[in-house]
Amino acid sequence: MKKMKTWKQRQNRNGYLFMLPWIIGFAIFTAFPFAATIVLSFMNVNSTILGFELSFAGMSNYITAFFKNTEFLPALAGYLKMAIPYTFVIVVVAFIIAYILEHITKLKGFFRTLYFLPVIIMSGPVMAKLLETKTSDMQAFADDEYLDLFIVDMIASYSRPLAGLVSDTFTQLSTILWFTGIPIVLFINGLQKINPSLYEAAKIDSATNWQILWKITLPIIRPIALIVTVFTIASIGTYDINPVYTLIVKYMANTSGGLGFAATYAWVYTLTVLLLMGLSFLILKEKKTKVKHY
Amino acid sequence: MKRLKISKRALKGTILKITFYLLLVLISFVFLEPILRIVVKTFMTPEDIIDPVVDWVPRSISLNNLKVAFKVLKLPVTLKNSILFSGALAIMQTFCAALTGFALSRYEFAGKRFWFVMILMCFIVPTSVLMIPRLMMFVTVQEAMKFTLIGTPIPQMLMALLGQGVNSTILILIFQNFFNLIPKSLDEAAMIDGAGAFRVFWHIGLKLSLSTVLVVFLFAFVWNWNETYVTGTLLRSGLELLPSKLSLFDSEFENAVSSSGSAFKLNEAYKMAATFISIVPLLLLYSFVQKKFIEGIENTGITGE
């Protein structure tokens, strides 16, 4: 008679049976390439008729990327200059929209549908075409149409680069808002899960809406804000508006020795992205409540 | 005294409401402005495009841009290719996501937490860091087996089938959360009646979650449609797809013009018409099933239950 398997064994066997395709794919197409990119970033890659020729290059790719090449560092700086303000604006705006949508009754579904629309049509080529026409429209008027605004002027008197950043953010507002589609839904979902009796209790203690927002809603929503931030950082990098991304694509197309460089760029870029996510984790992680002693 | 207080409060509420709606409408405009611009410019005549006086409302409507863009994009062919290509990849991705989601929802296997974290990591790691070795791998296999891979949809199909397509993580999460809602007693009943693990998956998992399957398929379809980086690296010009034709529109336009010998000049209107055409299928899809999309994201459960 066949020996019966224990419950645990069966769970293990069936679980791995269903996971198997994903695990194989993960090993071949994600884990291995990830490790390989790190190795490749220390290599010279030559593509010949017989295949790829690898030779150890030491740190030379990195030295070239950071000290000799004039494209990489500006592109990386450009990425940071884009990713940090964009992410900040996306998370804040998405929260505000979600908060408003939670507090109205009529047309709620309509607005939600509308704000989700960009998720469906957003793609590299469409964004590229839009940005192209935007810049050509801009040239017809002025270089920075928002630089004349009073508030931006005020910031400019304090720090010129900061004003440039603010005015850039305004010029790109549509593009930025297009990233809020999924964050809004996540925030609404989180807001709906807050226990209404918390609000009631606060109201009985005569808290104003403003106080409730800061003392109840925001602290509870903090973990979702973290998820949204990480999500935004992950999704923002994959479009042509990201200068590092276009640089990597360019070097990948250059098969004569470009692949090693591309690997170095991709790896440094990934580290930067992960660093940004780690930073947002540090900022948004749940703080331990300090017990005050009176 | 008391009545006055209440009315004051009501007034404050109304003012707040009006501000909210005003804000929402303003934000809607910012959201829609790019789309509106695409639509308006699509129907503008060349004269209106250059004329700085004409900004939003064209003086006369012309369908010429659409016709030209239609031709340059080789529409019937590229549309069919795009639908088939994204559809095939989406089906494969959906299948693998369902299997993985089922495993996570139904079985307590050793290392489950580890694999779950790895699934999340797949979303975080930028694709560009993975593409170079992937490309080299496919090229090497292609050379070794004398079988063309680059320039065919095969590499992407393999990746989709093995759960490494676009945003597979989100698809898995949607499935996992939906399967969690199906009571386990159903599985047990089926197993007592002698159903194997795969039959449970098929008859209880999938058949009860047809609407989830549809949601996941739609997301996978749209994301594969919009994906151009992996496609550009692995498929290249092996298949003529609508989005990649759009990104090459400028040069395609020049080619089409020089081969026909006419004196057309590339302008904004043609580009916008092409962009318009390439998003119309997605807009149509969205207009029919918008609710499903939003529900899908809500069901990822990443906001915690």
**Structure confidence at residue A208 as a pLDDT band (50, 70, 90):** confident
Residue B70: pLDDT over 50: yes
Residue B240: pLDDT over 90: no
- If one compares B153 and B58, the residue with the highest pLDDT of the two is B153
Q: What is the dihedral of CA A28, A30, A31, A35, to 10 degrees?
A: 110
Residue A186: pLDDT over 80: yes
Q: Do A125 and B278 touch (CB under 8 A)?
A: yes
pLDDT at B118: 92
ipTM strictly over 0.90?
no
pLDDT at A142: 45
Size of interface A-B (CB pairs under 8 A): 267
CATH number for the domain harbouring residue B115: 1.10.3720.10
pLDDT tens per residue across span A56-71: 777 777 887 788 777 8
Q: How many structural domains does chain B have?
A: 1
Instruction: Check the CA dihedral B255-B258-B264-B265 and report its sign.
Output: positive
- If one compares A48 and B254, the residue with the highest pLDDT of the two is B254
Average pLDDT over every residue of A204-219: 88
* Predicted structure pTM score: 0.86
pLDDT tens per residue across span B169-193: 989 988 888 888 888 888 888 888 8
Q: Do A126 and B137 touch (CB under 8 A)?
A: no
Pair of tokens at residue B178: 């939906």
pLDDT tens per residue across span B216-234: 899 899 999 988 888 888 8
Burial B42-61 (b: 16+ CB within 10 A, else e): bbbbbebbeeeeeeeebeee
Residue B292: pLDDT over 60: yes
Q: Which residues pair with A47 in a beta bridge?
A: A52
Q: Confirm whether B18 is domain-assigned.
A: no
pLDDT at A141: 46
Q: Confirm whether B272 is domain-assigned.
A: no
A294 vs chain B: nearest CA distance in angstroms?
Answer: 35
pLDDT tens per residue across span B111-168: 899 999 999 889 888 888 888 888 888 888 888 888 888 888 888 999 999 989 888 9
Find the residue in B nearest to A24 (Cα).
B162
Residue A91: pLDDT over 90: yes
Domains and CATH numbers, chain A: 62-284 (1.10.3720.10)
Looking at every residue in chain B, the average pLDDT score rounds to 84
Mutate to test the interface with A, among B22, B48, B109 (most CBs of A within 10 A): B109
Question: What residues in B contact A208, CB-CB < 8 Å?
Answer: none
Question: What residues in A contact B252, CB-CB < 8 Å?
Answer: none
A120 touches chain B (CB under 8 A): yes
Could you tell me which of A126, A23, A259, A232 has the C-alpha nearest to residue B233?
A259
pLDDT tens per residue across span A25-53: 999 999 999 999 888 888 877 776 666 77
Domain containing B185 equals 73-247
Which residues 175-204 of A have a C-beta within 8 angstroms of B? Answer: 175, 177-178, 182, 185-186, 189-190, 193
Q: Do B130 and A34 touch (CB under 8 A)?
A: yes
**Structure confidence at residue A102 as a pLDDT band (50, 70, 90):** confident
Q: Confirm whether B78 is domain-assigned.
A: yes
Residue A152: pLDDT over 50: yes
Most confident listed range (A126-135, A153-162, B9-18):
B9-18
Q: Side-chain half-sphere of A159: how many Cα atoms within 13 Å?
A: 4
Taking every pair of Cα atoms in chain A, the longest distance, rounded to a whole number of angstroms, is: 87
Q: Do A25 and B283 touch (CB under 8 A)?
A: no
pLDDT at B100: 93
Q: What is the spatial distance between Cα A170 and Cα A254, in angstroms, rounded to a whole number?
A: 35
Average pLDDT over every residue of A242-249: 81
A24 touches chain B (CB under 8 A): yes
Which residues 49-88 of B have a C-beta within 8 angstroms of A? Answer: 52
Lowest-confidence pick of A195-204, A258-267, B118-127, B151-160: A258-267
Q: Confirm whether B278 is domain-assigned.
A: no
pLDDT tens per residue across span B9-18: 788 888 888 8
